[in-house]
Chain A
Amino acid sequence: DAKTTQPNSMESNEEEPVHLPCNHSTISGTDYIHWYRQLPSQGPEYVIHGLTSNVNNRMASLAIAEDRKSSTLILHRATLRDAAVYYCILRSGNQFYFGTGTSLTVIP
């Protein structure tokens, strides 16, 4: 399984940008980088995904390093509703294998 490494926890002030890093040094050429987030007692929610180029959607931006060995999820203005565990996942074939994720705390 391609593995990812994320900080266990991060804090951000409300309405400030948040940069959530992810290392995936063993990524293969065909692995997509996916980000999901999970609120307590809920299933994971899709955030964004990409392959090589940076990606933007209404929820976040994904910045992918040129060598693809790391990526950063960017929340442009954190809100209290963004407090969740964020998972960076490499899609290997059909399956998604989850790492430990980053627990984001948003401070009002």
Chain B
Amino acid sequence: GAVVSQHPSRVICKSGTSVKIECRSLDFQATTMFWYRQFPKQSLMLMATSNEGSKATYEQGVEKDKFLINHASLTLSTLTVTSAHPEDSSFYICSARATGGSGNTIYFGEGSWLTVV
């Protein structure tokens, strides 16, 4: 099946700094990628939809200036958490839509643990 890779898998940053997480589709082109956040023992929460070559679409309640999303190519989307605070510590997961076939299956990355200290 299609492979989506995230980097880094774990990152620790100081409060007030910014951190970037990359999401790559390794064997297919993805015009649309998605970013989720997951707190411990909770479900995934969709943050934004990343569209190649255009602005991301954010879900209600997600601060676009804090969570910067760039989808510069058909295989790469990045999420930058700006001025990170301890409450931003979470598991961030990206996914990409593989077109073709029925249902347009979405494949997920391995996730990135962010700890803000």
Contacts and interface: CB of A to CB of B under 8 A. Distances in A.
A15 interface: no
Interface stretch (B13-21, B72-80, B107-115): B107-115
A7 to B, nearest CB: 14
Contacts of A46: 1, 105-108
Interface string A70-100: 0000000000000000010001001111111
Contacts of B93: 43-44
Nearest to A99: B43
Contact of A100 (B43, B106, B110): B43
> What secondary structure prevails in chain B residues at the interface with A?
strand
A101 B109 contact: no
A91 B103 contact: yes
Interface of A: 32, 34, 36, 41-46, 49-51, 87, 91, 94-101
16 contacts: A41-B113, A42-B110, A42-B111, A43-B109, A43-B110, A43-B111, A46-B105, A49-B103, A51-B102, A51-B103, A87-B43, A91-B103, A98-B36, A98-B43, A98-B45, A99-B43
